Amino acid sequence: MRVEISALFGVILILSAPIISASESSYSFDDDGWLTQLAGPERLALGDEFGCHGMPEVNPLEDSGSVDACVSYLNERIAASKWGENPLTFGVPDNSAEHPNSDNLTNALYSAGIRVVDDLEFGDQSEKLNSFEVNAGTLEKGIASIDSILSSANDEEIVVLSWIAEMEDLNVRRDRDVVSWIEEQSFWFTTPGELVSSKSSGNISLVNYNDSTVTVEQPNQITGLWETPGNSLISGVDMGGQDLEVISVTYTNGTELEEFDSMDRHLSDGWRYENGSLHLSLIPGTNAIIQYNRNQSISDIQISNNTFNGLVPFIVYGEHVTDLFEWSSGFQNSSIRFTWLVEPRPVIQMDWVLPIIAGFVGLITIVQMRRLIQSDNPSPELYRNLFESE
């Protein structure tokens, strides 16, 4: 009887499992373990960004609460960037700007700390959110186009592509030739959150200058964005109208800034002098001293916002990322930086009639086997008779 009770208890546990799981969250999903193991930490250290693409099988326009759920899912597993913990980027559904609930979605995104979306019209309409929309196609083999990339770089001064590793259970192959070409170009490989944060901290101010030195101040970052270096372009002329030549740049504490070349393509603090202009990237809340040629006397200084190292920003969205290893495995040694729009894995739907049938079949089998063993167990007298007959 004890065996039958144990088997029945096992069946009850099996049947009650989905009820227990469902009570833990308003949304059903499975974890992507790669976010916390190997792939996630490696991509984070490289400079990738982790954003959200919503909860599985839920339209955030119909359920704005799913925005917070996705952001919480990400926060509990991995930082959004090496620059900041909080996610800044969200992938919204197509045609979100035309949906009657677009304002509700905007408010939900902003309240959750999101500052960037991947839909230009939706971002413009919201007046709260920045937007970087795909303008140069995808990295998919047979679709990726160098011409499209060059066109976007020249016409829009930013390149934005997409990448998805699986579509309807089919693996998508990257275009190796196009990827190799991209990796050889002098783009600023960045992410939406990094780009927005860098732009927001880019308005440096002139503190003072004398004959051959200029002191500038990089302001503190805006609350809610990341502590990224801000980028500025500084040009000046001497009393004779000649371009000022930069000799060195140091923080006021004496730390020298790194001097870049044109192939430094990942955001950091430093400087590069080119054709009479200084590309300068400074950490928020710092002052720096620019040392010009001592044989020149400063006549005029001009400061404007800039991109990092004067390069065209290059963004790649990894869309609907349910398996980070699958999405990122082809780019382990790539100089490209990705924005992984994470979407928790959907729960595999199971027909619960089958477990019920299996449970009862197992129970009946155990009972019948126990009875069979008892009925086939010979008595001691039978053993004695067999030995005596020999």
Q: Would you state the pLDDT for residue 202?
A: 65
Q: Answer whether residue 386 shows pLDDT above 80.
A: no
- Rounded CA-CA distance 315/332 in Å is 17
Q: Would you state the pLDDT for residue 372?
A: 58
pTM of the model: 0.83
Answer for the pair 27, 60: CB distance below 8 angstroms, yes or no: no
Answer for the pair 176, 183: CB distance below 8 angstroms, yes or no: no
In this prediction, residues 33-51 reach a mean pLDDT of 96
Q: Would you state the pLDDT for residue 15?
A: 40
Answer for the pair 315, 190: CB distance below 8 angstroms, yes or no: yes
Residues sharing a CB contact under 8 Å with residue 356, sequence separation 6 or more, in sequence order: 15
Per-residue confidence band for 389, with pLDDT thresholds at 50, 70 and 90: very low
Residue 273, H or E segment:
strand 270-274
Per-residue confidence band for 211, with pLDDT thresholds at 50, 70 and 90: confident
Per-residue confidence band for 354, with pLDDT thresholds at 50, 70 and 90: low
Q: Answer whether residue 4 shows pLDDT above 60.
A: no
Pull the structure tokens for residue 249.
Answer: 């740049």
Q: 3-state class of 101 per DSSP?
A: coil
Which pLDDT tens digit goes with each residue over 133-168?
Answer: 999 999 999 999 999 999 999 999 999 999 999 887
- Rounded CA-CA distance 101/295 in Å is 63
Cα 183 to Cα 178, 187, 336: the distances in Å are 9, 9, 7
Answer for the pair 176, 114: CB distance below 8 angstroms, yes or no: no
Which pLDDT tens digit goes with each residue over 160-204?
Answer: 999 999 887 788 999 999 999 999 999 999 999 999 999 987 678
Q: Identify residue 142 by its one-letter amino acid code.
A: G
Cα 140 to Cα 90, 136, 189, 363: the distances in Å are 22, 12, 18, 52
Q: Answer whether residue 27 shows pLDDT above 50.
A: yes
Residue 270, H or E segment:
strand 270-274
Answer for the pair 76, 86: CB distance below 8 angstroms, yes or no: no
Count of beta carbons in the 10 Å neighbourhood of residue 258: 12
The closest of 196, 265, 186, 244 to 224, measured between CA atoms, is 196
Please return the burial class of 291, using the count of CB atoms within 10 Å of its CB with bins 0-12, 13-18 and 19+: middle
DSSP-derived pairing of the beta strands 246-251 and 286-292: antiparallel
The pLDDT > 90 percentage for the chain reads 75
In this prediction, residues 9-33 reach a mean pLDDT of 55
Residues sharing a CB contact under 8 Å with residue 196, sequence separation 6 or more, in sequence order: 88, 115, 116, 130, 225
- Rounded CA-CA distance 51/79 in Å is 10
Please give the mean pLDDT across all residues of the chain. Answer: 87
Q: Would you state the pLDDT for residue 10?
A: 44
Residues sharing a CB contact under 8 Å with residue 290, sequence separation 6 or more, in sequence order: 213, 214, 215, 216, 234, 246, 248, 249, 278, 280
The pLDDT > 70 percentage for the chain reads 83
- Rounded CA-CA distance 147/136 in Å is 9
Ordered by where they begin, the domains of the chain are 29-186+313-342 (no CATH), 197-310 (2.60.40)
Q: Identify residue 375 by its one-letter amino acid code.
A: S
Which pLDDT tens digit goes with each residue over 80-134?
Answer: 999 999 999 999 999 999 999 999 999 999 999 999 999 999 999 998 999 999 9
Q: Would you state the pLDDT for residue 207?
A: 87
Which pLDDT tens digit goes with each residue over 64-76?
Answer: 999 999 999 999 9
Q: Would you state the pLDDT for residue 337?
A: 98
Q: Would you state the pLDDT for residue 346?
A: 87
User: Which of the 8 DSSP states describes residue 308?
Assistant: G
Q: Would you state the pLDDT for residue 379?
A: 54
Q: Would you state the pLDDT for residue 159?
A: 98
Count of beta carbons in the 10 Å neighbourhood of residue 161: 24
Query: How many residues comprise the chain?
Result: 390
User: Measured between alpha carbons, how far apart are the two ends of the chain, in Å?
Assistant: 38
Answer for the pair 162, 339: CB distance below 8 angstroms, yes or no: no
Residue 68, H or E segment:
helix 65-75
In this prediction, residues 267-278 reach a mean pLDDT of 96
Pull the structure tokens for residue 324.
Answer: 């980070």
Q: Would you state the pLDDT for residue 368?
A: 66
Q: Would you state the pLDDT for residue 357?
A: 62
Q: Answer whether residue 302 shows pLDDT above 50.
A: yes
